[in-house]
């Protein structure tokens, strides 16, 4: 009896499952409702042809217009240190002095040798004149003795002596002529030695080459100074130079004497381009530019930003940077044409204000999406945002 009841319960359960399955699989499928795509509201700008003067901003640091590392051209022991870092000096001021005793002695010796050479030249010129007169007289004596004849032994002996004396005078005249003819050369050599000794003596004093400020002194009194050892750094801060590196299109638009605005610590100064490197650096392919600022009060190392004018452009389109979409290395804008967005590839030119100069399949007075372009797609329905 229990077995029959169990079998009957299983049959009821199986029938229920089968009925449920049949109802599920035979249920009619409801067709999905297709919603009409809504147009997105986009902010737009109207394209206009412009004539512009683009500029580029470049940052650099100020350096003194004039700076020098001073060195002695002679060696010796430092006798006097007449300056300190931070001191203002004038051109010609004596900054450092070496012990000059040896150089003074060398100068005295060179001057004495030159004076002796001058006196020797005067003596040789006078002796040459005397030797010339003696030679002429001796020639007459030889001719007189020849006229007396050589019949006696005495006359022949005197003639031989006269001839020997004439040869001696000839040799002495030749020697003196050589001395006189080379006098200018010997004087030049002696004078050069004297001048060199005097210059070496003067070089024991290191003087300021221009008005400026002592930046550093690297030696103390008593130090032995080697030849060409850096001992003093001097700068002129009455004017400053701004050194910058720019691209080729920037340097092409510049010329010597171009006036530019330089911003330093929220203040604008007037600068002038004083140097241009036309051949670029082979490693960076940039060009060095130097700008002179003559305003007092500026300090080396200050950060400065300069605005450099580029080549003027005519009849160009400028779009805001927010209107550009960059994908896979290319740039696009979205144009609203017949209530539909079209993604148009563009080529970027120079930066101008807050936008870019662009070129491509664009038309004047065309409406372009001005911002929030990352979420837009080509062909999307759109309307102008109110």
Give the integer Cα–Cα distance in Å for 306 and 62. 11
Exposed/middle/buried for residue 260 (C-beta within 10 Å: 0-12, 13-18, 19+): buried
Q: Is the pTM of this model over 0.85?
A: no
Say if residue 369 is in the same domain as residue 340: yes
Which pLDDT score is estimated for 245? 93
Contacts of residue 363, Cβ cutoff 8 Å, sequence gap at least 6: 47
Is the sign of the CA dihedral 74, 79, 82, 83 positive or negative? positive
Say if residue 219 is in the same domain as residue 298: no
Say if residue 247 is in the same domain as residue 120: no
- CA 319 to chain CA mean position, Å: 36
Say if residue 196 is in the same domain as residue 325: no
pLDDT tens digits, 261-315:
999 988 999 999 999 999 999 999 999 999 999 877 888 899 999 988 888 899 9
69 located within any domain: no
123 located within any domain: yes
Which pLDDT score is estimated for 74? 96
31 located within any domain: no
Boundary of a domain, candidates 263, 292, 309: 309
Which pLDDT score is estimated for 166? 82
CA atoms within 13 A on the CB side of 215: 18
Contact 377, 341 (CB under 8 A): yes
Boundary of a domain, candidates 212, 233, 254: 233
Say if residue 261 is in the same domain as residue 278: yes
Which pLDDT score is estimated for 139? 84
Say if residue 258 is in the same domain as residue 339: no
- Strands (DSSP E) contained in 254-321 are 259-264, 267-276, 287-293, 303-309, 313-320
Residue ranges for the chain with pLDDT beneath 50? none
How far CA 105 is from CA of 21, 99, 149, 222, 279, in Å, comes to: 128, 12, 64, 21, 52
User: Helices 101-148 & 183-202, crossing angle to 10 degrees?
Assistant: 170
Exposed/middle/buried for residue 298 (C-beta within 10 Å: 0-12, 13-18, 19+): buried
Three state DSSP letters for 202-250? HCCEEECCCCEEEEEECCCCCCEECCCCEEEEEEEEEEEEEEEEECHHH
Which pLDDT score is estimated for 16? 72
Q: Which strands sit side by side in the sheet containing 76-81, from one edge to the other?
A: 205-207, 94-98, 76-81, 224-225
Task: Give the pairing type, strands 94-98 and 259-264.
Answer: unpaired
Exposed/middle/buried for residue 364 (C-beta within 10 Å: 0-12, 13-18, 19+): exposed
Residue 140 is encoded by which pair of tokens?
Answer: 């007459």
CATH number at residue 336: 2.40.420.20
Task: Give how many domains the chain has, as a whole number.
Answer: 4
321 located within any domain: yes
Which pLDDT score is estimated for 15? 67
Residue 324 is encoded by which pair of tokens?
Answer: 């550009």
Please give the residue range of the domain that contains residue 256. 237-309
CATH number at residue 90: 2.40.50.100
Integer-rounded Cα Rg, in Å, for the chain is: 50
4 located within any domain: no
Say if residue 211 is in the same domain as residue 95: yes
244 located within any domain: yes
Which pLDDT score is estimated for 295? 75
Contact 177, 131 (CB under 8 A): no
Residue 293 neighbours by CB distance under 10 Å: 21
Say if residue 227 is in the same domain as residue 249: no
DSSP string covering 320-381: EGGG-EEETTEEEEEEEETTEEEEEEEEEEEEETTEEEEEES--TT-EEE-S--TT--TT-B
Percent of the chain having pLDDT more than 70? 89
CATH number at residue 267: 2.40.30
CA-angle at 272, arms to 233 and 251, nearest 5°: 100
Helices and strands, number each (H, E), in the chain: 5, 22
Give the DSSP H or E segment for 153.
helix 153-181
Boundary of a domain, candidates 233, 256, 282: 233
Residue located via tokens 């005249």:
173
Say if residue 117 is in the same domain as residue 176: yes
Task: Give the pairing type, strands 40-42 and 382-384.
Answer: parallel
Q: What percent helix, strand, coil does the chain show, rounded to 5? A: 35, 35, 30
Which pLDDT score is estimated for 56? 87
Say if residue 276 is in the same domain as residue 345: no
Give phi and psi for 104, each to the nearest 5. Answer: -65, -40
Say if residue 320 is in the same domain as residue 261: no
Which pLDDT score is estimated for 335? 92
pLDDT tens digits, 349-377:
888 888 899 999 898 999 999 998 988 99
Say if residue 284 is in the same domain as residue 166: no
Exposed/middle/buried for residue 23 (C-beta within 10 Å: 0-12, 13-18, 19+): exposed
78 located within any domain: yes
351 located within any domain: yes
């Amino acid at each position: 009896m229990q077995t029959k009841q169990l079998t009957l319960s299983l049959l009821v359960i199986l029938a229920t499952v089968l009925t449920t399955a049949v109802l599920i699989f035979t249920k009619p499928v409801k067709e999905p409702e297709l919603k009409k795509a809504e147009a997105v509201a986009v902010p737009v700008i109207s394209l206009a042809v412009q004539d512009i003067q683009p500029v580029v901003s470049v940052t650099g640091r100020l350096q003194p217009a004039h700076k020098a590392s001073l060195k002695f051209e002679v060696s010796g022991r430092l006798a006097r240190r007449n300056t300190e870092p931070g001191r203002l000096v004038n051109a010609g001021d004596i900054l450092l002095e070496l012990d000059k005793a040896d150089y003074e002695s060398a100068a005295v010796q060179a001057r004495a040798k030159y004076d002796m050479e001058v006196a020797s030249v005067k003596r040789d010129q006078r002796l040459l004149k005397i030797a010339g007169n003696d030679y002429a007289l001796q020639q007459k004596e030889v001719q007189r003795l020849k006229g007396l004849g050589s019949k006696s032994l005495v006359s022949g002996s005197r003639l031989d002596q006269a001839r020997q004396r004439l040869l001696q005078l000839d040799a002495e005249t030749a020697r003196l002529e050589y001395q006189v003819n080379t006098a200018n050369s010997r004087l030049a050599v002696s004078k050069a030695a004297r001048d060199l000794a005097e210059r070496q003596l003067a070089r024991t004093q290191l003087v300021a080459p221009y008005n400026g400020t002592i930046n550093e002194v690297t030696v103390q009194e008593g130090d032995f100074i080697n030849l060409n050892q850096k001992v003093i750094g001097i700068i002129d801060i009455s004017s400053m130079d701004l050194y910058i590196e720019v691209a080729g299109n920037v340097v092409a638009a510049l010329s010597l004497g171009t006036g530019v605005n330089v911003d330093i610590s929220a203040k604008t100064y007037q600068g002038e381009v004083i140097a241009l490197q036309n051949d670029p650096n082979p490693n960076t392919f940039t060009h060095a530019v130097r700008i002179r600022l003559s305003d007092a009060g500026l300090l080396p190392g200050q950060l400065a930003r300069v605005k450099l004018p580029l080549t003027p452009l005519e009849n160009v389109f400028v779009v805001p940077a927010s209107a550009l979409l960059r994908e896979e290395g290319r740039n696009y804008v979205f144009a609203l044409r017949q209530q539909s967005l079209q993604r148009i590839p563009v080529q970027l030119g120079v930066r101008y204000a807050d936008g870019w100069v662009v070129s491509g399949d664009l038309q004047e007075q065309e409406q372009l999406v001005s911002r929030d372009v990352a979420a837009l797609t080509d062909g999307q329905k759109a309307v102008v945002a109110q």
